[in-house]
Amino acid sequence: MKTLLLKNCYLVSPDVEMENASVYVEGDLIKKIFVDGDELPAADEVIDCNNMMLMPGFVDVHCHGKSNFDFCDATCEAVTTMAVDKLKEGVTTLLPTTLTLSEEMLTAALKSAREYVDNGSIGCKIPGVHLEGPFINPKALGAQNPAYVRLPDIEEVKRLNAIFPVTKISYAPEVEGGDKFSSDLLAMNVTPSAVHTLATYGEFKKAYNHGLRNLSHFCNQMTPLHHRDIGMVGAGLLENDVYIEFICDKLHICPDMIKLVFTLKNIEYIQLISDAMRAAGMPDGQYDLGGLNVNVANGAARLDNEALAGSTLLICDALKNVFEITEFELKELVKTTSYNQARALKLEKIGKIEPNFYADMVLLNDDFQVEKTFVNGVCKYSK
């Protein structure tokens, strides 16, 4: 069994910050953590981290595209390019995310994910996919295509899940059948999440009573906080056990709101996401999202009507943003990049650097830029 030793790192893991630490890996698992002064074992490969930050590999549960490819291009090339290039921002586990499209189009996308995994997963791990839509409120479209909006259909989900695991579905809980849809999804081990919704707090609670515990791209395309009805934003702040996805690019969410949410919300339930579209990692210009024209200028992706159309955000930059805005300790913020996602989706042995967890790790410099990314103890990206 191959062994790896990462020495002289600034180890950052949930509730842990440790200088001059070393991490010993056997095969695909972390075997032991050594503190400064410990005698270090021999290993097949030794990497000196030069006191750079070593964190658990990031988990992006909401990402549509990267490097001019979109998951809904429905090709193995698209999925592979996304999965390989996401390593450059420290992502080791990825949920490729769909759009509101026809079942035929969704089927093709899931088949491409199946092909990627069957071919050996040369980039990120892809344990499943995230369906954003098509079961959304047509009056809260954002950048979703109205032509394909439809009511929740658990049989459609079952058909798609038979092709490749559907790990998470974002939908509107107030639409017909939406409250019970959460319990139907949970019975399939699919995580229900709410977004593209005009639900009142009362309508949210109906779905909450059926097991809804996640809100996708929090604050965006959901009912805002109001003093007569706290809506979905209020629900995310009030309900302690509800996970929220957060796009911390300082555009979808302004810095003051980022600071407010991190102040009010238990950090154990915040998940940083990219919600990236195909222009992530690409220059400004003209792109598309689900057949809709997207203009990217200064890194901001917008439809012709000026509505935001996903982001070009990298997860490593999202972490840098919240570190600078909130001034929280890294041992707290690191929960938002992987461990909270793993808990929300019940992904085992992911999100911590400690014995018996997978050796999914990212090495970052002082500017939060990625130097190396490891998946199952193998360096799959080096700057």
User: Could you tell me if 270 and 259 are in contact, meaning their C-beta atoms sit under 8 angstroms apart?
Assistant: no
What distance in Å separates the CA atoms of residue 239 and residue 200, rounded to the nearest whole number?
14
Supply the DSSP string of 111-128, one letter for each residue: HHHHHHHHTT--SSB---
Q: What is the pLDDT of residue 184?
A: 98
Residues with Cβ within 8 Å of residue 115, at least 6 apart in sequence = 76, 79
Is residue 148 over pLDDT 90?
A: yes
| Residue 190: predicted pLDDT | 98
Model confidence pLDDT, tens digit, residues 156-185: 999 999 999 999 999 999 999 999 999 999
pLDDT of residue 143: 86
For 77-132, how does the pLDDT look when each residue is reduced to its tens digit (9 = 90+)? Answer: 999 999 999 999 999 999 999 999 999 999 999 999 999 999 999 999 999 999 99
Within 8 A by CB and 6+ apart from 213, the residues are: 192, 241, 242, 243, 344
Query: What are the pLDDT digits (tens) for 207-252?
Result: 999 999 999 999 999 999 999 999 999 999 999 999 999 999 999 9
What separation in angstroms does the CA of 190 have from each of 85, 169, 206, 212, 219?
26, 7, 18, 11, 23
- At 204 the pLDDT is 98
Q: Of 333, 339, 329, nearest to 361 (Cα)?
A: 339
- Contacts (Cβ under 8 Å, ≥6 apart) of 155: none
The token pair at 354 is 């400690």
Model pLDDT, residue 308: 87
Is a pLDDT exceeding 90 seen at residue 357?
yes
**Average pLDDT, integer, range 192-206:** 98
pLDDT tops 90 at residue 290: no
pTM above 0.85, yes or no: yes
Cβ atoms of 183 and 189 closer than 8 Å: no
Q: What is the mean pLDDT of the chain?
A: 97
Give the three-state DSSP class for 256: helix
Rg (CA), the chain: 20
Q: What share of the chain is helix, strand, coil (3-state, %, to 5)?
A: 30, 30, 45
Nearest to 79 by CA among 23, 127, 37, 117: 117
The structure tokens listed for 260 are 């407010």
Q: What is the DSSP letter of 144?
A: S
Query: Quick check: 307 pLDDT over 90?
Result: no
Residues in CB range of 329: below 8 A, 6 or more apart: 17
Residue 289 has pLDDT above 90, yes or no: no
Domains of the chain in sequence order: 3-55+353-382 (2.30.40.10), 58-345 (3.20.20.140)
212 vs 179, 196, 260, 271, 337, CA distance in Å? Answer: 8, 15, 24, 16, 21
Residue 113's pLDDT is 98
Pair of tokens at residue 115: 């092909």
What's the CA gap between 41 and 4, in Å, rounded? 10
Residue % of the chain over a pLDDT of 70: 100
Yes or no: say if 30 and 65 are a contact pair by the CB < 8 Å rule. no
